[in-house]
Amino acid sequence: MNASREKAAALALRTANVCLAAFVFSSTVSITFEQASIVLAFLAWTLALLLGYRPHYKKGMLELAFLLLLGSQLISSLFSSHILESLLGVRDLFFVCIVYLFATVTRTERRMREFVYLFIFSASLMSLYGLIQSAMGVYRITAAQSTPLTFSGILTIAFSVGFSFVLFGASRKERIIFGPLLALIFAALTLSYTRSSWIAVFCAILFIGILRSKWLVVGLLLFTAIAFLLAPHPLKSRAMSIFDPRRPSAHMRIILLKTSPQVVKDHPIIGVGMMDLLPIYDKYVYPRLPENLKKERHGHFHNNFAQVAVQTGILGLTIYLFLMFNVVRSEWGGYRAAGDRFMKSISLGSLAAFIGFFIFGMFEYNFGDSEVIMLLWFTLGLSLACRRLSDCA
């Protein structure tokens, strides 16, 4: 690569870094700005590649899993009764590029710290906004997001990464700065009144404790018990409702889960396509509902496994499970390979964020929530960057 092309490639990479920083900051604020930042980062990164930039990245089974997932969604869409709508539904897979942008553009530990700082700061800023909403009488806070589910899904990932960083990778000065910000995120998570996020965060922290410290597990259990005993009635009542299958939202999810095998039976191999599932809901679910649940109609199945099975059949579900396995495998490899204290904490936080995402997905279709899934790809990209930097070192 000659000198002029090398300078142009370096400029393109700097531009990509700026756009990625904009993505991280806007990830909790605005999906429009978030997606625009990623598109610009992708264009700058592509230009750098065309100019001769060659990142040191080892391909593996993860890339095969992504390609197979794309293939399964395209096949399902082409044979769907709603072809155009289904093909448009495949477009969200473009944002898988987030994984490789962060994995290859993050070339120093300093740059990774900047991304982590921005992420925690942005999440805490939106958490403060949510707490102001709560003080003004809003029951389930959303901050700048459209729903409490999306807001709490974002905070689940932010808290998982931030918790691991503050506990195991931060300096004393960083703990003083980011500890209170983490408390803000936790408070907002609590006041989102999203039970699935509470369970997800509990499991994410439990996972970190199992890997790193038995005392963290003990502390988590004690904290949970004391927090429940001291919680005001609305929070305590909300927490207790987790165990009540008769409440409307739980009853609805149970019916959806029981109905999904029937849809898969009728569309076994490639599913119904990447379409909105409202027509499927009306055909299969609505007739089974008691009168008190017929007021609402849903275009998804509130569970990642059920949704993927219905949309892409047994083939797509198998590939989805293959992808999830390889995400865990890649992040676990990043955690094992990271020698630096900071990078090890980020790899562990990314893995915990995936655990939280996975648990959350038992109660909500968060694999189709753009704001949440883009942050999952962000944390996976950070984990791969940790591994790449450790290998280079």
Mean of pLDDT values over 23-44: 97
Give dist(CA 137, CA 185) in Å, integer.
19
Phi, psi of 109 (to 5 degrees): -65, -35
Phi, psi of 210 (to 5 degrees): -60, -40
Contact 73, 316 (CB under 8 A): yes
Q: What is the dihedral of CA 309, 314, 319, 324, to 10 degrees?
A: 50
Quick one: which of 302, 36, 285, 284 has its CA closest to 147? 302
Over pLDDT 90: what percentage of the chain? 85
Give the tens place of pLDDT for each residue, 127-146. Answer: 999 999 999 999 999 999 99
* pLDDT interval class at 349 (50, 70, 90): very high
- Quickly tell me which residue has 């009728």 as its tokens: 266
| C-alpha dist (Å) from residue 181 to 13, 46, 117, 136 | 30, 35, 11, 21
Mean of pLDDT values over 105-109: 92
* pLDDT interval class at 220 (50, 70, 90): very high
Q: What's the pLDDT at 190?
A: 97
Over pLDDT 70: what percentage of the chain? 99
Contact 354, 331 (CB under 8 A): yes
Mean of pLDDT values over 328-332: 95
Count the Cβ atoms, other than its own, within 10 Å of residue 197: 27
* pLDDT interval class at 393 (50, 70, 90): low
pLDDT at 125 > cutoff 70: yes
Give the tens place of pLDDT for each residue, 246-281. Answer: 888 888 999 999 999 999 999 999 999 999 999 999
Q: What's the pLDDT at 279?
A: 93
Q: What's the pLDDT at 298?
A: 81
| C-alpha dist (Å) from residue 174 to 96, 119, 120, 342 | 31, 14, 12, 11
Token pair of 308, please? 């993927």
* pLDDT interval class at 4 (50, 70, 90): confident
Q: What's the pLDDT at 55?
A: 84
Token pair of 50, please? 């065309």
Burial 100-126 (b: 16+ CB within 10 A, else e): bbbbbbbbebebbbbbbbbbbbbbbbb
Give the tens place of pLDDT for each residue, 55-71. Answer: 878 888 999 999 999 99
Mean of pLDDT values over 148-166: 97
Q: What's the pLDDT at 265?
A: 96
Question: Which pTM was predicted?
Answer: 0.95
User: 213 versus 374: which is more confidently predicted?
Assistant: 374
Give dist(CA 370, CA 170) in Å, integer.
30
Quick one: which of 96, 82, 111 has its CA closest to 21? 111
Q: What's the pLDDT at 245?
A: 84
Mean of pLDDT values over 354-379: 97
Give the tens place of pLDDT for each residue, 188-204. Answer: 999 999 999 999 999 99
Give the tens place of pLDDT for each residue, 80-95. Answer: 999 999 999 999 999 9
